[in-house]
Amino acid sequence: MQKVAEIAQKRAIQLLNQGVVNRVIGWKKGEFGYDETPAVFTTAAGIEDFRYDVFSAPNLSKYLIDESKKEGKILAFLKPCDTYSFNQLIKEHRVNRDNVYIIGIECGGMADINTIRNRGAAGVTDVADNGQTVIAHTLYGDVTFDKNEVLLEKCQACKGKKHVIFDELIVVNPQDDEPKNRFAGVEAIENMTPEERFAFWREQLSKCIRCNACRNVCPACSCLQCVFDNPRSGVASKASPDTFEEQLYHIIRAFHVAGRCTDCGECSRVCPQDIPLHLLNRKFIKDMNAFYGEYKAGEDSETRPPLVNFSKDDAEPSVISDKGGDK
């Protein structure tokens, strides 16, 4: 991983110096070695702070909506799953492809500091990545974890290691492209009784503080004016005193991104209350796969997504109702 970071850093400096790009979007080091922040670098000297490691989780595609509309070309480092988001944004005419130079960057899975904390490492001051293991240096001693056990949910359910759009690649250690089973969590909920399912979501959604982090980080939430920011909607931006209305926020959002969500997992990563929001989106993905055939949003930037396409083979509404209804 460190080697990948070094190559990326050098390449960024090269492309800046050659004038191919005038800015670079990547990740910058934080306070504790686990809190990388997305950053735009404009000078070769500034790129010294560039970091790429197991905590470079933030998906940079969303920033490219704005960045690709600025003067000059920007170099963007995109992990495999981030390239799906970028493709989807091209499909929705939200980014200017010509203004972005994409380097697809190798990803061995991103670690989750919350999981590290939840598994007993309090007071983490730095984290070292040793390939198979990660070591959390804490105020109370070192704690070693098997990396696979502390991966972000989105990485445990990785779609695959293939970059679906790029201008060049930095892949030092080609990795097994076998996608993991993404739907085990959805199946577990499908197997609940309706009462259990209702109780599960009521409890999870009751934690929501309506900070809008899930929406603001979501590459599919690219509306210029969100319905939840429209003062006339009656549900604008803020917490509602009615818990029923409040919980609709997430459901409506899931409907809005259905067929466009690339399952980048950022919603669940950023939720301060750890609400498993990806399960809502993934339920839609699973059902669409079942009804309309396998489809991965963002896999390319041209094909018509199933929900806005019509074919004679489409599932009949009654079929959908049977499958999605009582079970």
Partner 1 sequence: MLKIKKSNLDKLYAAISERQILYVPCNVAGKPNFAVWGEGADVDLVSLKTVKSAKEVFFPQCEDIASFRKEGKNISVKSEHKESGDFVVFGVRACDCKSFDILDSVFLADPVDTFYKTKREHGTVITLACSKPEETCFCSAFGIDNAEPEGDIATYFAGEYLYWSPKTEKGLNLTKTLNSLLQTATDKDNDALEKEQKKIKEITGRLPLYVLDLSYWEADDLLEKFNSEKWKALSESCIGCGACTFVCPTCQCYDVRDFDKGHGVQRYRCWDSCMYKDFTMMAHGTPRPTQMQRFRQRFMHKLVYHPSNHEGVFSCVGCGRCVEKCPMHINIVKVIKTFGGDDK
Cβ 60 vs Cβ 67: under 8 Å: no
**Could you say whether residue 268 binds partner 1 (CB under 8 A)?**
no
Q: Taking the complex as a whole, how short is the minimal distance between the CB of residue 2 and partner 1, in angstroms? A: 20
Beta bridge partners of 52: none
- Applying CB under 8 A, among 10, 69, 119, 238 the residue interacting with partner 1 is 238
- Applying CB under 8 A, among 9, 56, 68, 138 the residue interacting with partner 1 is 138
Chain positions 201 to 220 lying near partner 1, rule: CB under 8 A, are 203-204, 206-207, 209-213, 215-217
Q: Taking the complex as a whole, how short is the minimal distance between the CB of residue 264 and partner 1, in angstroms? A: 13
| Run of H or E including 38 | strand 37-41
Chain positions 270 to 299 lying near partner 1, rule: CB under 8 A, are 270, 272-275
- Which region among 13-21, 24-32, 145-153, 309-317 touches partner 1 (by CB under 8 A)? 24-32
**Could you say whether residue 31 binds partner 1 (CB under 8 A)?**
yes
Cβ 59 vs Cβ 85: under 8 Å: yes
Q: Which long-range contacts (CB under 8 A, 24 or more apart) does 124-131 make?
A: 124/32, 124/34, 125/32, 125/33, 126/32, 126/33, 126/34, 127/32, 127/33, 127/34, 127/54, 127/55, 128/33, 129/1, 129/53, 129/54, 131/1
**Could you say whether residue 231 binds partner 1 (CB under 8 A)?**
yes
Question: CA 327, CA 324: separation in Å to the nearest integer?
Answer: 8
**Could you say whether residue 229 binds partner 1 (CB under 8 A)?**
yes
Q: The sheet that has 133-138: what strands, in order across it?
A: 124-129, 133-138, 141-146
**Could you say whether residue 19 binds partner 1 (CB under 8 A)?**
no
Question: CA 138, CA 130: separation in Å to the nearest integer?
Answer: 16
Cβ 206 vs Cβ 243: under 8 Å: yes
**Could you say whether residue 12 binds partner 1 (CB under 8 A)?**
no
Q: Taking the complex as a whole, how short is the minimal distance between the CB of residue 38 and partner 1, in angstroms? A: 4
Q: Taking the complex as a whole, how short is the minimal distance between the CB of residue 73 and partner 1, in angstroms? A: 18
Q: Taking the complex as a whole, how short is the minimal distance between the CB of residue 198 and partner 1, in angstroms? A: 14
Alpha carbon separation from 163 to 73, 125, 152, 258 (Å, rounded): 20, 33, 19, 22
Q: What is the sign of the dihedral through the CA atoms of 159, 165, 170 and 171? A: positive
x/- track of binding to partner 1 for residues 64-83 (CB under 8 A): --------------------
Count each helix (H run) and each strand (E run) in the chain, helices first.
12, 8
Whichever of 188 and 211 has its CB closer to partner 1, that residue is: 211
x/- track of binding to partner 1 for residues 35-54 (CB under 8 A): xxxxxx--------------
Binding interface with partner 1 (CB under 8 A): 30-32, 35-40, 58, 62-63, 122-125, 138-140, 203-204, 206-207, 209-213, 215-217, 229, 231, 234, 236-242, 266, 269-270, 272-275
